[in-house]
Structure 1
């Protein structure tokens, strides 16, 4: 299995597990405050990881650091995915059931793909498109499972807030792909620190939210470190290997994990529409994970830096004394090449068809 798929699925599991537990915390805190605690936990935990990694790193080990051209893309990603999306998500969770909210998170993959295809010009075919249409159909069913005419608008507004959060995360995903050759831990740590600081400041200073007890802060921080921090690190690695749309599709497994935890832990009782929507979404994800894309393609001249091994796409010389250790990171040149093999639209396969 392509390691990018493994990264994406692990990211989905971590984020999916966090959703029902965030639902429990959403009843105790102001949504903005909870979003700040989750992202602060992510940022602080990953920052500690960076310090520890540097302290125990062996000579010769290296990762690609972010450069100045990367920061405008990262700033846009942080604003949309780290500031706006969590607030919308926490607001939605406070109005909708955890199981429905978990499945609605599939809309993130759909919206991510639509932006990747039509704004950032990433390759797709009819099979991938059909899969996304099935996921959309399931999301629409969940959004309207509460009938506004019967006075149950509360649930529908919660669903709309979750979908709006997914749109913000979709923008975030596409912007993050622009910097995915950099250090994934550094990217996720910066997102967590900035997003956590902004949301906490807004909640405490502007909204006047009460300062939570340290025990509650610790619980939210641990949840944020796993469900947001580690999940985001894996997601960035998946972007590097799979491209944006396909990473979003694999990440669509997250809602099923979250829904299962909601049913087992929170004791929620979904109706028949829930299961029908889940079946539609499952078929859509299956179409994605069974895709095979193989054709003759050309690699043009390219120069960039990222962590790599000397595989078929990295047969270059070094202008420095190399000790032979891999993986390593440095600026390197890709010479023009033409060949055929199964591939995804990763950082080395951005060709037209």
Structure 2
């Protein structure tokens, strides 16, 4: 692989991380005018709309050639993915209204814990020593971040909602793994429209309203970049780098989010936050350097390179 070809997937992995990192701080700004459930809806609808345009461009460029489409066999996992993607961002947006954006950015890492433990329990996927260490450290860090008052050991309700979102996304990740060999653009579009419409229905039932058009457009654009393009670039990077290396580069995402949050909201980190951040960095290092002792065989048809390759 030439230097240019090596750099491109690394760039895409870091770009995917950066695009997702902006979601927490920018969402918190938009939540001033857009209610939580509506906000979740606009984020996913933005992803669905934006990725549909990209899919149309791809269709015209490659004259209708696409990757493997979803079938009836994947229907249960598709329904599970959409349902969990309705719940998760709603919990996250509610959490953002009550917790600092920096805390939320770090707490999002609990998704690794949820995903790994669910994969172990349901799919019997083995967990290595490093990942067990990561699970322990991320959990400890999450508990520290969730403590609102050290003297009374009371928990922040905002943090609890963010952790619920992480658990939902952990379940969702295990549904999505069953769709991993299918067309990623189709998966993202279904996630976008399915979850966006589901959240919109709930928002209307709750009587939520958003009158500021500029904030609504901003939420849709944020969704396209953070929930659409981010996943698109992640999958693109994964095809050249493999899952482990892509995860290692993507692990910078929460820390970019923390940095942006501290700058945008001029938040002064507390001693507890600094302790939690330090523990989280070590935990993320263990998670991103976990080595898999078992082999995965996937055949991926890359429409952008017009070739199929087997990933071992």
TM beyond 0.5: yes
Distance, in Å, in 1 between the alignment partners of 2:131 and 2:183 is 29
After superposition, where does 1:15-54 map in structure 2 within 5 Å?
15-54=20-59
Q: Cα distance, 1:254 vs. partner?
A: 2.4
Q: Cα deviation per residue 1:14-55 (whole Å; 9 max; x = unaligned)? A: 211111000111222211011111111111111111112111
Hey, what does 1:11 align to over in structure 2?
16
Mapped partners of 1:171, 1:283: distance in 2: 24
| SS of 2:179 mapped into structure 1 | coil
Aligned match of 2:76 in 59, 72, 76?
72
Deviation at 1:180, TM superposition (A): 0.7
Task: Identify if the C-alpha distance between structure 1 residues 143 and 247 changes in structure 2 by more than 3 Å, giving closer, same or farther.
Answer: farther
Distance 1:176 1:249, change over 3 A: farther
Tell me how far apart the structure 2 counterparts of residues 83 and 238 of structure 1 sit (CA, whole Å). Answer: 26
> What is the CA-CA distance between 1:250 and the residue it aligns to?
6.2
- Decide whether the 8 Å contact of 2:66 with 2:183 is kept in 1: no
* Match runs of 1:61-100 below 5 Å: 62-80=66-84, 82-100=85-103
Q: Which moved more, 1:248-257 or 1:71-80?
A: 248-257
The one of 146, 149, 154 aligned to 2:149: 146
Shift of 1:71: 2.3
Alpha-carbon distance between aligned partners in 2 of 1:170 and 1:36, rounded to the nearest angstrom = 20
| Correspondent of 2:307 among 328, 331, 344 | 328
Shift of 1:328: 3.0
Work out whether residues 33 and 200 of structure 1, in 8 Å CA contact, stay in contact via their aligned partners in 2: yes
Deviation, 1:73, is: 0.8
1:306 alignment counterpart: 300
Cα 1:11–1:326 shift into 2, 3 Å = closer
Is 2:141 aligned against 1:162? no
Which protein, 1 or 2, shows the higher relative CO under an 8 Å CA cutoff with sep ≥ 6? Answer: 2
Deviation at 1:11, TM superposition (A): 3.1
Unaligned runs of 5+ in 2: 1-5
The CA deviation at 1:233 is: 2.7
Task: Give the total of aligned pairs.
Answer: 305
Cα shift at 1:291:
3.9
Contact 2:105/2:254, CA 8 A, preserved across alignment: yes
From the two aligned structures, give the one with the greater helix fraction.
2
Instruction: Give ranges in structure 1 of 5+ residues lacking alignment.
Output: 310-324, 335-347
Shift, 1:307, TM fit: 0.9
**Structure-1 separation of matches of 2:118 and 2:14:** 21
SS in 2 for 1:164: helix
Q: Map residues 169-318 of structure 1 onto 2, 5 A cutoff.
A: 169-204=169-204, 206-236=205-235, 241-242=242-243, 251-293=250-292, 306-307=300-301
Q: Deviation at 1:327?
A: 3.5
**Aligned match of 2:106:** 103
- In 2, the alpha carbon distance for the partners of 1:238 and 1:114 equals 25
Q: Pairwise CA RMSD of aligned residues?
A: 3.1
